Structure 1
């Protein structure tokens, strides 16, 4: 079991401590901020109490037995700033979660570079800064990359792993393996603003706000449409898989209509949609779209996905028996 350190004793660090302790790893939550003894004791108490409360909540919602709380909590240690060097010396993987300013990052990475082994992975949990912007703050830089967790980290499976231009590929492979080993679903993406999920969700959230602004529907009905339509489908099908399912040609023509009807280029199709149309790669109908369906039993695949939709209906309490 790799020894894990969460550098930064805020909400993200506490969530990551829960994740790894739950998966059996020894974790140290490291407060890098210099404090008075009383303030350090306060932060320690608050952090450990929140972690214990989170574990109890997971027990209450059926993720584990209440009896498991104490042994999992025992895997979490806390280190105040004066104890940081000793705590970090034995860490194999360090997740940085200090405030989102370059000044705070630079100070944290200078300290982490000095206090950790040269072969220990340092991963930033930033949601706004690219690995290429931060990599030069770490020594040696090849061991650094971003690992963007989605809150709440102890429940959301996805972690977006984003290496910088100078990241050692073996470091990316090690981190992906570590995350898969604790039951997470890591995806690797280039150092690009917004990673994957924030970039997708920003568009959806802004469009939902515009619907309210334009008086198209109430906030309550827009949220209902999101949960029972938009979110319902994308909980089973990936966005690109969904394009293939319905057909890229449908999206192509819908983009044109929406652009003309609303008088905006927000819905203009990207070139890849036009290229797929020209190549005849429009999805399941042609066995090729964004994904390749050649050699697949498409009928079996569709039944499996429809079964997943049915399971979602039951989960939402929206499944109905037929009227006979």
Structure 2
């Protein structure tokens, strides 16, 4: 009996691209180098994670503007604050869990309270690693949403990341960005004229039967789910909300109100507690907008370790599971979806 070929996979995966999907390697690192060519005030700083946050690209191009702080995230944030006080634009990188759990107080008092121009770039947001709760930042948005003066960005793909770097350079104030690193898919190029803007949600796909408002890698899943549902005769709109805070209240309210009977799904690579879903739910409640509302996100629990495709299926954020969620909702309405 011949031995079966053993499939190899890794729990430490920071981005997922389906086979055949165009990708860009280290889009953040390359975009920062490009921005730094035009702006000598940009410096790169990390806490022993240059290679794993794609900052090594910047380090190779500008070694005299790169600072390795060692495994000391609190020191990293304080040093970044000091750089900002001296007129520099520090891009400080670490993992999302270390920024949100370990360095919170230092970010709050040294950076956010003083409105300093520090850009915090954090890899492995949500469920983008299979290394378990020690590395999975499933609650980072919930932790940071309550911090005054802090802008929160959750980019979808390499296009978003590339464009957000220059947007952050032009923006005066502290920013927290959830970084997709490594080989990052290029999804938004499909939408002609798309442009990332801080504080702006963007309508990508129109549809009268359902609306998905999404951020981060879940926008990719929402687009794929919309395409599959269209083949089944269901039109699913997709709105990409790359900025979690400040939320684009006007655009969201206008789109939700356009079809009052259309169900609203919020999809995010984050716990269903305290993230984009609850932010939009509270907005709708405050404005007196009554709609059918559903969340697609990670459960309120510590997640397991393993290969990411398996975990994404298990916790309901893979494209397959997003489609199942939509199908389940529409399965009872035979006029909309008679084949299910």
**TM category, shorter:** 0.3 to 0.5
Structure with the higher helix share, 1 or 2: 1
TM-score of the aligned structures, taking structure 1 as reference length: 0.34
Q: Which has the higher contact order (CA 8 A, sep 6+)?
A: 2
TM-score of the aligned structures, taking structure 2 as reference length: 0.33
Structure with the higher strand share, 1 or 2: 2
The structure with the larger Rg is 1
